[in-house]
Structure 1
Protein backbone atom coordinates (compact mmCIF):
# COMPACT_ATOMS: atom_id res chain seq x y z
CA UNK A 1 0.00 0.00 0.00
CA UNK A 2 1.45 3.31 -1.05
CA UNK A 3 1.07 6.60 0.75
CA UNK A 4 -1.01 7.97 -2.09
CA UNK A 5 -3.49 5.10 -1.78
CA UNK A 6 -3.65 5.48 2.00
CA UNK A 7 -4.28 9.23 1.83
CA UNK A 8 -6.92 8.78 -0.87
CA UNK A 9 -8.69 6.14 1.25
CA UNK A 10 -8.61 8.43 4.30
CA UNK A 11 -9.99 11.31 2.23
CA UNK A 12 -12.84 9.13 1.00
CA UNK A 13 -13.55 7.87 4.52
CA UNK A 14 -13.74 11.42 5.87
CA UNK A 15 -16.04 12.46 3.03
CA UNK A 16 -18.33 9.49 3.79
CA UNK A 17 -18.34 10.46 7.48
CA UNK A 18 -19.41 14.00 6.56
CA UNK A 19 -22.14 12.72 4.25
CA UNK A 20 -23.47 10.33 6.88
CA UNK A 21 -23.48 12.84 9.73
CA UNK A 22 -24.70 15.89 7.76
CA UNK A 23 -28.48 15.27 8.04
CA UNK A 24 -28.43 14.89 11.83
CA UNK A 25 -26.07 17.82 12.34
CA UNK A 26 -28.16 20.05 10.07
CA UNK A 27 -31.34 19.20 11.99
CA UNK A 28 -29.59 19.83 15.31
CA UNK A 29 -28.35 23.20 14.06
CA UNK A 30 -31.75 24.30 12.75
CA UNK A 31 -33.57 23.08 15.87
CA UNK A 32 -31.03 24.77 18.14
CA UNK A 33 -31.37 28.06 16.28
CA UNK A 34 -35.18 27.92 16.36
CA UNK A 35 -35.31 27.01 20.06
CA UNK A 36 -32.71 29.65 20.90
CA UNK A 37 -34.74 32.27 19.07
CA UNK A 38 -37.88 31.13 20.89
CA UNK A 39 -36.09 31.35 24.24
CA UNK A 40 -34.75 34.80 23.46
CA UNK A 41 -38.17 36.06 22.45
CA UNK A 42 -39.99 34.63 25.47
CA UNK A 43 -37.19 34.96 28.08
CA UNK A 44 -37.58 31.31 29.06
CA UNK A 45 -34.22 29.88 30.18
CA UNK A 46 -35.02 26.22 30.71
CA UNK A 47 -32.21 23.77 29.85
CA UNK A 48 -34.49 20.86 28.99
CA UNK A 49 -36.30 23.04 26.46
CA UNK A 50 -33.20 22.97 24.26
CA UNK A 51 -32.07 19.40 24.92
CA UNK A 52 -35.22 17.30 24.57
CA UNK A 53 -36.51 18.63 21.21
CA UNK A 54 -33.04 18.46 19.64
CA UNK A 55 -32.50 14.87 20.72
CA UNK A 56 -36.00 13.92 19.61
CA UNK A 57 -35.56 15.46 16.18
CA UNK A 58 -32.13 13.90 15.77
CA UNK A 59 -33.56 10.47 16.60
CA UNK A 60 -36.30 10.93 14.02
CA UNK A 61 -33.81 12.02 11.36
CA UNK A 62 -31.53 9.11 12.28
CA UNK A 63 -34.43 6.69 11.89
CA UNK A 64 -35.43 8.18 8.53
CA UNK A 65 -31.88 8.29 7.09
CA UNK A 66 -30.70 4.98 8.52
CA UNK A 67 -31.03 3.16 5.17
CA UNK A 68 -29.03 5.90 3.42
CA UNK A 69 -26.29 5.67 6.06
CA UNK A 70 -26.14 1.88 5.90
CA UNK A 71 -26.07 1.80 2.10
CA UNK A 72 -23.37 4.46 1.90
CA UNK A 73 -21.14 2.76 4.44
CA UNK A 74 -21.60 -0.75 3.05
CA UNK A 75 -20.91 0.48 -0.50
CA UNK A 76 -17.71 2.11 0.70
CA UNK A 77 -16.55 -1.12 2.31
CA UNK A 78 -17.53 -3.42 -0.56
CA UNK A 79 -16.15 -1.17 -3.30
CA UNK A 80 -13.06 0.30 -1.62
CA UNK A 81 -11.95 -1.48 1.55
CA UNK A 82 -12.57 -5.18 0.83
CA UNK A 83 -10.78 -5.17 -2.57
CA UNK A 84 -7.87 -3.39 -0.90
CA UNK A 85 -7.68 -6.06 1.79
CA UNK A 86 -8.07 -8.88 -0.75
CA UNK A 87 -5.27 -7.39 -2.84
CA UNK A 88 -7.25 -6.93 -6.03
Structure 2
Protein backbone atom coordinates (compact mmCIF):
# COMPACT_ATOMS: atom_id res chain seq x y z
CA UNK A 1 0.00 0.00 0.00
CA UNK A 2 1.42 3.33 -1.02
CA UNK A 3 1.56 6.27 1.31
CA UNK A 4 -0.84 8.31 -0.85
CA UNK A 5 -3.45 5.54 -0.83
CA UNK A 6 -3.12 5.21 2.94
CA UNK A 7 -3.66 8.94 3.55
CA UNK A 8 -6.53 9.09 1.06
CA UNK A 9 -8.26 6.18 2.79
CA UNK A 10 -7.67 7.78 6.18
CA UNK A 11 -9.09 11.08 4.91
CA UNK A 12 -12.21 9.35 3.59
CA UNK A 13 -12.71 7.51 6.86
CA UNK A 14 -12.41 10.69 8.90
CA UNK A 15 -14.82 12.50 6.59
CA UNK A 16 -17.38 9.69 6.97
CA UNK A 17 -16.98 9.94 10.75
CA UNK A 18 -17.71 13.67 10.60
CA UNK A 19 -20.73 13.22 8.33
CA UNK A 20 -22.16 10.46 10.50
CA UNK A 21 -21.73 12.32 13.79
CA UNK A 22 -22.95 15.71 12.56
CA UNK A 23 -26.73 15.18 13.05
CA UNK A 24 -26.32 13.88 16.59
CA UNK A 25 -23.89 16.61 17.62
CA UNK A 26 -26.09 19.32 16.10
CA UNK A 27 -29.16 18.14 17.99
CA UNK A 28 -27.18 17.79 21.22
CA UNK A 29 -25.94 21.37 20.83
CA UNK A 30 -29.42 22.71 20.11
CA UNK A 31 -30.98 20.80 23.01
CA UNK A 32 -28.24 21.98 25.35
CA UNK A 33 -28.73 25.59 24.32
CA UNK A 34 -32.49 25.38 24.73
CA UNK A 35 -32.25 23.78 28.17
CA UNK A 36 -29.57 26.27 29.22
CA UNK A 37 -31.73 29.17 28.09
CA UNK A 38 -34.71 27.71 29.94
CA UNK A 39 -32.62 27.31 33.10
CA UNK A 40 -31.31 30.85 32.85
CA UNK A 41 -34.78 32.28 32.39
CA UNK A 42 -36.39 30.31 35.22
CA UNK A 43 -33.40 30.11 37.61
CA UNK A 44 -33.88 26.35 37.93
CA UNK A 45 -30.47 24.71 38.43
CA UNK A 46 -31.36 21.03 38.40
CA UNK A 47 -28.67 18.73 36.99
CA UNK A 48 -31.07 16.12 35.62
CA UNK A 49 -32.89 18.83 33.68
CA UNK A 50 -29.90 19.19 31.37
CA UNK A 51 -29.21 15.47 31.05
CA UNK A 52 -32.61 13.94 30.32
CA UNK A 53 -33.77 16.18 27.41
CA UNK A 54 -30.37 15.97 25.73
CA UNK A 55 -30.30 12.21 26.06
CA UNK A 56 -33.82 11.92 24.69
CA UNK A 57 -33.00 14.14 21.72
CA UNK A 58 -29.81 12.23 20.96
CA UNK A 59 -31.57 8.87 21.11
CA UNK A 60 -34.37 10.16 18.88
CA UNK A 61 -31.98 11.50 16.23
CA UNK A 62 -29.88 8.35 16.41
CA UNK A 63 -32.99 6.26 15.82
CA UNK A 64 -34.05 8.41 12.85
CA UNK A 65 -30.60 8.55 11.21
CA UNK A 66 -29.55 4.96 11.90
CA UNK A 67 -30.29 3.84 8.33
CA UNK A 68 -28.30 6.74 6.88
CA UNK A 69 -25.35 5.96 9.15
CA UNK A 70 -25.39 2.27 8.24
CA UNK A 71 -25.62 2.99 4.51
CA UNK A 72 -22.74 5.45 4.70
CA UNK A 73 -20.50 3.00 6.53
CA UNK A 74 -21.39 0.13 4.20
CA UNK A 75 -20.61 2.34 1.19
CA UNK A 76 -17.23 3.25 2.67
CA UNK A 77 -16.37 -0.39 3.25
CA UNK A 78 -17.63 -1.58 -0.16
CA UNK A 79 -16.10 1.20 -2.23
CA UNK A 80 -12.85 1.82 -0.37
CA UNK A 81 -11.73 -0.76 2.16
CA UNK A 82 -12.80 -4.06 0.59
CA UNK A 83 -11.00 -3.36 -2.73
CA UNK A 84 -7.84 -2.47 -0.84
CA UNK A 85 -8.02 -5.65 1.24
CA UNK A 86 -8.90 -7.85 -1.75
CA UNK A 87 -6.29 -6.24 -3.96
CA UNK A 88 -3.52 -6.95 -1.58
1:13-24 residue pairs with structure 2 within 5 A?
Answer: 13-24=13-24
> Matched residues in 1 for 2:19 and 2:81: separation?
18
Normalization by structure 2: what TM-score?
0.98
Residue number in structure 2 paired with 1:29 = 29
Q: Which gives a bigger RCO, structure 1 or 2 (Cα 8 Å, sep 6+)?
A: 2
> For the aligned residues, what is the CA RMSD?
0.9
Following TM superposition, the consecutive aligned residue runs of length 4 or more in structure 1 with deviations greater than 6 angstroms are none
Q: CA deviation at 1:9?
A: 0.5
Structure 1 equivalent of residue 10 of structure 2: 10
Aligned residues: 88
Q: Could you list the runs of 5+ residues in structure 2 that have no partner in the other structure?
A: none
Q: Distance in 2 between matches of 1:4 and 1:12?
A: 12
Following the alignment from structure 2 to structure 1, what is the Cα–Cα distance between the partners of residues 45 and 11?
Answer: 41
In structure 1, runs of 5+ residues without a counterpart are none
